[in-house]
Amino acid sequence: MAEVVIVGGGPAGLNCAYHLAKGGKEVVVLEKHPFPVGKLCAGGLTLKDFKEGVPKEIVERSFSIHIIHTPSGQTTLKAKEPIVFTADRKKISQWLFERARRAGAIIERKRVTRIEDRAVITKDGKKINYHYLIGADGSLSLVRRYLNVPTINLVIAWQTSLPFPVSKMQWFMNPKLFGQGYGWIFPHRDKTMIGFGCSNLKDIPKTKKKFLFWIEERCGLKINTTFKAHPINSDYRGHQFGHIYLIGDAGGFASGLTWEGIYFALVSGREVARMILNKNYEARDLRALLSLKRRHERMVRMLHLPRPILTHLFECLRRALGISFLSQLIIKKYG
């Protein structure tokens, strides 16, 4: 019997485990992959992640200058200070893992294959009883499925890694290719993450081909490496279901606009831990997180426009981001 069982040792599960263990709870994290987990991710962080305790030493590169591409041109966004940072996802995992373990969390490499009302069953046939169960098992969450919580707003993101760094962080907006989504180039210290996310899943090979052609044309980069895909869940439908909780991507906490998920996973993990530790906890940060998510969703709904109008809107947005005071305003509202 464990007081709290957390399924999944990503940012949400490990941050939740750290806060629970620090608060004196007996907590077991079950993670199917070996640590440090190198989940498919661009490793992009924002200033918000540092407020959540992520150490600045983990950062590999910092970016105040961003190149924004649309089909008809490119604009340079110059922020007053770095607004996006890149870090190795395995290093983030290692730091979270060690912090949770030092606080007293038990972390085991086990795949959960079945869930029962008061127990989980692992692939090796072990039955672990729990008082509280936390689903931190990502976008394809077994815990969420056990709870019968539907998932509609799921974006598929595709990414490849080049074995060398490029100099600039770049963003690609083109409704013809990505619908309301976007493409990215995120440089790290010794590699570069290149990817895109689409709401329109109709013809991924064609989308990928056109995106690669665009990158070659604009940035002179010829890419032959393989792309991998992983879903991002922004479909939040509640976090507490009796004695079972959903956090991070399992709870649909990721932003539906930017698809940033690490910060949302960290905060939801911390807040749910505090709710379990203190029944009267007000969870103000969780409410603020959900309010930011709602702001992002309103923006996404506004982007449900006919393609020519959306293309025109993205052109205007690109130009606006090149104007200093407008870019500061947009970053402040949606960052």
Ligand X SMILES: Cc1cc2nc3c(=O)[nH]c(=O)nc-3n(C[C@H](O)[C@H](O)[C@H](O)COP(=O)(O)OP(=O)(O)OC[C@H]3O[C@@H](n4cnc5c(N)ncnc54)[C@H](O)[C@@H]3O)c2cc1C
Residues at the contact surface with ligand X, assessed by CB under 6 A = 7-13, 30-33, 37, 39-44, 111-112, 136-138, 142, 157, 159, 195, 230, 232, 248-250, 254, 259-263, 265
Give whichever of 5 and 276 is closer to ligand X, judged by the CB atom: 5
Give whichever of 157 and 273 is closer to ligand X, judged by the CB atom: 157
Give whichever of 43 and 179 is closer to ligand X, judged by the CB atom: 43
Cβ-based neighbour number of residue 168 at 10 Å: 12
- Nearest approach, Cβ of 316 to ligand X (angstroms)? 25
Give whichever of 46 and 311 is closer to ligand X, judged by the CB atom: 46
Give whichever of 274 and 311 is closer to ligand X, judged by the CB atom: 274
Which token pair is 322?
């090149």
Give whichever of 11 and 175 is closer to ligand X, judged by the CB atom: 11
- Nearest approach, Cβ of 274 to ligand X (angstroms)? 17
Q: How far is CA 97 from CA 18, 20, 44, 68, 90, in A?
A: 9, 14, 19, 35, 10
- Nearest approach, Cβ of 308 to ligand X (angstroms)? 28
DSSP annotation of 79: -
- Nearest approach, Cβ of 9 to ligand X (angstroms)? 5
DSSP per-residue letters across 89-147: HHHHHHHHHHHHHHHT-EEEE--EEEE-SSEEEETTS-EEEEEEEEE---TT-HHHHHT
Which residues sit opposite 153 in a β-bridge?
A: none
Residue nearest to ligand X (CB): 261
Indicate if the alpha-carbon torsion angle 179, 66, 63, 328 is positive or negative: negative
- Nearest approach, Cβ of 306 to ligand X (angstroms)? 28
What number of H helices and E strands is found in the chain? Answer: 10, 18
**Cα 272 from chain centroid (whole Å):** 18
- Residue 195: burial class (beta carbons within 10 Å; 0-12, 13-18, 19+): buried
- Nearest approach, Cβ of 24 to ligand X (angstroms)? 23
